[in-house]
Structure 1
Amino acid sequence: MSTPTFSPGLAGVTAGVTAISEVDADRNKLTYRGYDVHDLVEHTKFDEVAHLMLLGKLPTKAELDAFIARTAAQREVSPAVYELFRKFPADANCMDVLRAGVAIEALFDPDAHKDTPEAHLQKSLRLYAKIPTLVVNGYRILKGMEPVKPSPTLPHSENFWHMLAGGAPNEFFVTTVDATQILYAEHGFNASTFASRVTVSTLSDIYSGTVSAIGTLKGNLHGGANEAAMEMLLEIGEATKADAYIRDALAKKKKIMGFGHREYKHGDERAKIVKTFVVELSKRLNEPKWLEISNIVEGVMLKEKNLYPNLDFPVASSYYMMKLPVELYTPIFVMSRITGWCAHMMEQLANNRIIRPHNEYNGPKGLTVPPISARK
């Protein structure tokens, strides 16, 4: 029997097989079920990509209409969720609030513990429908506002803007959020997706897998990087300070959030796509500051560390220019990634084996237990 190979962080380890997405690191290319994300951003809306993730194919017009109608009708959440949200401290982390909301919703889902493919799909569709409601109304309640009703008819991104801002949404803002939702939807065996697969591999339920994934995505080395990147840009404040700020941070061995990616050594194509939206937002809003700061930061990071921005970096400034609350950046990520998580959990459950890797022990051996009076 061969000795298992140890790889810190499971770097380079193939932990499973999936038909959901492929990261081609050599060509910096990402595909969802065979479709290049460039084409998906250019030619589809996010509801179409959600259909692709959850139902395995791009929808026809009739299928898309039925999908939007089916999910939009399930956007309302239990009043018990809001009752609990009102008891949370005003400074609660929005990811913690969202995680709690998902856990409570599980208690009211009649299919929560049913273990059939149809039940798994139904739970996935409900989560896709309800998470934007939990995101927006969790935030509103923390800010002392009343929850608002989701639209029973609008598509995904339009409904999000309707709930968050009210009134008719800015069309380009909707397009921008839709593009980021497409690009955030799925990315192979990333930490949160793998956490969700590990959870359901024990034959736990999809809600539990989602709670595991939300807790994992919260970390700054994963989904929380978009919020951390914007906080850094705000701290820099002016383009004239950007170069010195980054060089000083690097000299102090600080991690610059939003740069580098284990899968992409020559740049994240998703970041390049979102950068085009940042440029356009800067022009339309006559707000060039964040683009100017970002360009300087990117230049220093490439020169000094040979690191390129990942998706989180341009998303941060694009969301800020659209006046999205910084504390919602990672929950908005969840609104998208829930489709990838659920696709992976359904795939795991369809051909399941519990995920239980080997570990290498590096602690002491051969110790004897001394009397309690002799212990130090």
Structure 2
Amino acid sequence: MGEENGLKDQIACNTRISSIIDDDLSYAGYNISELMDNNASFEEVIYLLWNLHLPTQIELKHFVDELRANYAISDAVEQCILIQSRRHLHPMSVLRSTVSLLGVYNINAEDNSVEATYEQSIQLMAKMPTIIATFARLRMGLTPVEPREDLGFAANFLYMLNGEEPTPLQVTALNKALVLHADHELNASTFAARVTASTLTDIYSCVTTAIGTLKGPLHGGANEKVFDMLREIREHGNTEVYLKEKLDSQEKIMGFGHRVYKTQDPREKYLREMAQQLTQGTEDEVWFNLSCEIEAYMKNTKGLIPNVDFYSATVYHVLGIDSSIFTLIFAMSRVSGWIAHIQEQQKNNKLIRPRSHYIGQLNLEYIPIGKR
């Protein structure tokens, strides 16, 4: 039965947004390698996922202008983030609550017309980086940095996060990471978003559902665990001994294997390249070298391949992103795919209502409480 293995290989819907066929990932018909090798911008990819075709120059300029005009968040939303910036709160819980709050402050949140849904989509997409950068800085006791409308999506986020304009290599690295994480067929959070959308609720509820799903450690959070592992190995000083101890005690090594891919994760090689370029000749090169050692050991002893989370941990760390918010960066990218799936579900909707297979007892006799 499908439920015994998490509905593995069960088809739940038709989609034109993304596909995984023979270990190849495509967005609306474009293989991920086609987009990466031609340096497609994240903004182009968002447009592609939402419209199922790449934009012309005029279309892209209009789309980018719309996003940039909506970067800023209100003082009320910033105050809400400040209240939630205490260390003990889970960053994904803060993101979940803040996105939900955006729906409270949008007076058109209950309007599900095509025009209103598009406006809400732009607002959600544009404000995610500002919410995340604001939270990250407030959590560290730093003053939030206002977004700059003259900077693209990736550059603006790094500027707001670190307080200085990023280098071209840094922008390229984050742009590639965002493109690679933008969508991934019917993963858990995307499926949750589509189920929610099928009830004809508002887009904020759908994205909040997706964030709550991504928060779970079996879906998001793997790259955070990868960097924790890198840090521990650096402290211990011996990769082989560390990994052998973990494997002998039946602990999972994060960043390896995938539910869908069998021979390779097509996204991993691009993040490996960016990790190498970002660290080459710097003191951060130790993280890349450790990653290579771990990859070699896992391949030789377990035959396991690294997935998208493995090298993204080093990329994010070198970009000045604290490991505690790695999953927020995942969400900042994946919201583009969530929105695409929400819109697709709404256009040809049917309530998603599967059945369960009952395996409990039957025909029990009621015994009055005095005789139990």
TM-score (norm 1): 0.94
Report which stretch shifted further, 113-122 or 93-102: 113-122
| Residue 291 of structure 1: how far off its partner (Å) | 1.8
Distance 1:281 1:130, change over 3 A: same
After superposition, the C-alpha distances for 1:278-326 in whole angstroms (9 at most, x for unaligned) are 1212214253211221122112222232211110110001111222111
One-letter identity of the residue aligned with 1:100: S
Report which stretch shifted further, 361-370 or 218-227: 361-370
After superposition, the C-alpha distances for 1:303-352 in whole angstroms (9 at most, x for unaligned) are 23221111011000111122211112111111111110000000001001
| Residue 5 of structure 1: how far off its partner (Å) | 5.7
| Counterpart in the other structure of 2:26 | 31
Secondary structure (helix, strand or coil) at the match of 1:303 reads helix
| Counterpart in the other structure of 1:264 | 261
CA distance in 2 between counterparts of 1:146 and 1:369 reads: 63
| Residue 45 of structure 1: how far off its partner (Å) | 1.1
Q: Does residue 159 of the first structure (1) align with residue 159 of the second (2)?
A: no
CA distance in 1 between counterparts of 2:43 and 2:295 reads: 32
Secondary structure (helix, strand or coil) at the match of 2:61 reads helix
Q: Does residue 55 of the first structure (1) align with residue 45 of the second (2)?
A: no
Secondary structure (helix, strand or coil) at the match of 1:237 reads helix
CA distance in 1 between counterparts of 2:206 and 2:31 reads: 27
| Counterpart in the other structure of 1:41 | 36
Q: 2:298 aligns with which of 281, 297, 301?
A: 301
| Counterpart in the other structure of 1:77 | 73
Query: Contact 1:277/1:318 (CA < 8 Å) preserved in 2?
Result: yes
Secondary structure (helix, strand or coil) at the match of 2:26 reads strand
Q: 1:133 aligns with which of 124, 130, 133?
A: 130
CA distance in 2 between counterparts of 1:245 and 1:200 reads: 44
CA distance in 2 between counterparts of 1:214 and 1:337 reads: 10
Query: Contact 1:247/1:300 (CA < 8 Å) preserved in 2?
Result: no
One-letter identity of the residue aligned with 1:251: D
CA distance in 1 between counterparts of 2:168 and 2:64 reads: 19
Q: 2:83 aligns with which of 81, 87, 91?
A: 87
| Counterpart in the other structure of 2:203 | 206
User: Which sections of structure 2, spanning at least 5 residues, go unmatched?
Assistant: none
Query: Contact 1:259/1:313 (CA < 8 Å) preserved in 2?
Result: yes
CA distance in 1 between counterparts of 2:145 and 2:88 reads: 20
Identity %: 39
| Residue 108 of structure 1: how far off its partner (Å) | 1.6
| Counterpart in the other structure of 1:115 | 112
After superposition, the C-alpha distances for 1:189-208 in whole angstroms (9 at most, x for unaligned) are 00000010011111111111
CA distance in 2 between counterparts of 1:6 and 1:190 reads: 16
One-letter identity of the residue aligned with 1:215: G
Report which stretch shifted further, 282-291 or 128-137: 282-291
Secondary structure (helix, strand or coil) at the match of 1:366 reads coil
CA distance in 1 between counterparts of 2:87 and 2:236 reads: 33
Query: Contact 2:136/2:161 (CA < 8 Å) preserved in 1?
Result: no
CA distance in 2 between counterparts of 1:233 and 1:325 reads: 14
Secondary structure (helix, strand or coil) at the match of 1:281 reads helix
Secondary structure (helix, strand or coil) at the match of 2:350 reads coil
Query: Contact 1:229/1:316 (CA < 8 Å) preserved in 2?
Result: yes
One-letter identity of the residue aligned with 1:39: E
| Counterpart in the other structure of 2:213 | 216
| Residue 240 of structure 1: how far off its partner (Å) | 4.6
One-letter identity of the residue aligned with 2:63: F
One-letter identity of the residue aligned with 1:22: S
Q: Does residue 326 of the first structure (1) align with residue 323 of the second (2)?
A: yes
One-letter identity of the residue aligned with 1:72: R
Distance 1:374 1:150, change over 3 A: farther
CA distance in 2 between counterparts of 1:182 and 1:41 reads: 8
One-letter identity of the residue aligned with 2:41: K
Q: 2:172 aligns with which of 171, 175, 194?
A: 175
TM-score (norm 2): 0.95
**Superposed structure 1 runs of 4+ greater than 4 Å apart:** 4-7
Distance 1:23 1:105, change over 3 A: same
After superposition, the C-alpha distances for 1:247-291 in whole angstroms (9 at most, x for unaligned) are 111111111111111111101010111111112122142532112
CA distance in 1 between counterparts of 2:112 and 2:326 reads: 33
One-letter identity of the residue aligned with 1:340: G
One-letter identity of the residue aligned with 1:91: H
Q: Does residue 277 of the first structure (1) align with residue 281 of the second (2)?
A: no
One-letter identity of the residue aligned with 1:227: E
| Residue 185 of structure 1: how far off its partner (Å) | 0.2
